[in-house]
């Protein structure tokens, strides 16, 4: 099996643009008591999560940094609502993508390097091909045009790691309290074959959440069906 990174297609002639963020999110961490770092990122998203049952919903509406104790408290409120296999991190995005969209969109859309949208017809075609792990979630995007497409966001669960051989040999272990790794993603990535999931054709790396990976089955189905709008970069593994 071969694997590929799913990225924006800078050569595409599609003009579609999306501006928005997810409806809710966890706060970042301010001054972790163990590693002293302040950090958070919304590159791990779970658009299927509905937080409306949470009484203190306002705690998830404004991006901000909080002491780690408050972050951990909010994690426990969210955890029962997560899809199986989900991992949390400071700043994790939750709920539907809200914002504006305009232009001409292809079947697949990568508004960022860590998210994938697609039109409903494209999702149905891929699912009919038997591809595994594809879950489309509704968005709340306002279009500036008539005859706008229905764009869904793929909920991409974590799975797989980079191989230690492509990481700095003197790297420190993750912070035992907040989990921060403090590593820059290497330019030449090498997947750790022993960690890759076997039940999904699309996943997000556990250790570098900006990297979305798909199988060759996913790439072949997209090419056979004429589903364009993103690019596929081969990733070696060991």
Confidence of residue 112 (pLDDT cuts 50, 70, 90): confident
Q: What angle do CA 148, 153, 155 make, to 5 degrees?
A: 170
What pLDDT shows up at residue 144? 81
- Which residues sit opposite 19 in a β-bridge? 100
Confidence of residue 146 (pLDDT cuts 50, 70, 90): confident
Half-sphere exposure for 152 (CA within 13 Å, toward CB):
17
Residue 175, φ and ψ in degrees, nearest 5: -60, 130
What pLDDT shows up at residue 127? 97
Mean pLDDT computed over 143-149: 85
What pLDDT shows up at residue 56? 93
What pLDDT shows up at residue 63? 95
pLDDT averaged over every residue in the chain: 95
DSSP character at residue 34? T
Q: Residue 76: is its pLDDT beyond 90?
A: yes
DSSP character at residue 204? E
Q: Are 169 and 101 in contact (CB under 8 A)?
A: no
Q: Residue 10: is its pLDDT beyond 90?
A: no
Total domains in the chain come to 1
Q: Residue 126: is its pLDDT beyond 90?
A: yes
Domain that holds residue 37: 22-95
Confidence of residue 85 (pLDDT cuts 50, 70, 90): very high
Considering the domain boundaries, does residue 110 fall inside one? no
What pLDDT shows up at residue 65? 97
User: Comparing C-alpha atoms, which of 98, 55, 47 is closest to residue 74?
Assistant: 55
Strands 17-25 and 45-46: unpaired
Residue 71, φ and ψ in degrees, nearest 5: -60, -45
Confidence of residue 147 (pLDDT cuts 50, 70, 90): confident
Q: Give tens-digit pLDDT for 206-233.
A: 999 999 999 999 999 999 999 999 999 9
Confidence of residue 113 (pLDDT cuts 50, 70, 90): confident
Q: Residue 137: is its pLDDT beyond 90?
A: yes
Considering the domain boundaries, does residue 33 fall inside one? yes
Considering the domain boundaries, does residue 80 fall inside one? yes
Confidence of residue 190 (pLDDT cuts 50, 70, 90): very high
Half-sphere exposure for 197 (CA within 13 Å, toward CB):
20
Considering the domain boundaries, does residue 175 fall inside one? no
């Amino acid at each position: 099996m071969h694997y590929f990174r799913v990225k924006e297609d800078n050569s595409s002639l599609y003009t579609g643009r999306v501006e928005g963020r997810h409806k809710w999110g966890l706060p970042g961490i301010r001054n972790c008591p163990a590693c002293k770092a302040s950090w958070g990122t919304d590159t791990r998203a779970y658009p299927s999560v509905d937080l409306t049952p949470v009484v203190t919903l306002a705690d998830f509406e404004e991006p901000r940094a909080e002491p780690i104790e408050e972050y951990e408290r909010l994690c426990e409120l969210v955890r029962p609502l997560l899809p199986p296999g989900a991992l949390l991190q400071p700043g994790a995005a939750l709920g539907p993508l809200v914002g504006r969209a305009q232009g001409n969109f292809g079947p697949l859309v990568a508004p960022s390097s860590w998210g994938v949208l697609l039109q409903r017809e494209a999702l149905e075609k891929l699912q009919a091909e038997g591809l595994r792990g594809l879950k489309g979630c509704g968005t709340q995007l306002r279009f500036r045009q008539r005859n706008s497409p229905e764009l869904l966001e793929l909920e991409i669960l974590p799975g797989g790691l980079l191989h230690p051989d492509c990481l700095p040999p003197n790297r420190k272990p993750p912070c035992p309290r907040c989990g921060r790794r403090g590593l820059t993603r290497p330019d030449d990535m090498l997947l750790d074959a022993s960690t890759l999931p076997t039940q999904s054709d699309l996943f997000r790396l556990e250790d570098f959440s900006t990297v979305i990976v798909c199988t060759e089955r996913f790439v072949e189905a997209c090419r056979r069906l004429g589903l364009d709008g993103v690019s596929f970069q081969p990733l070696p593994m060991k």
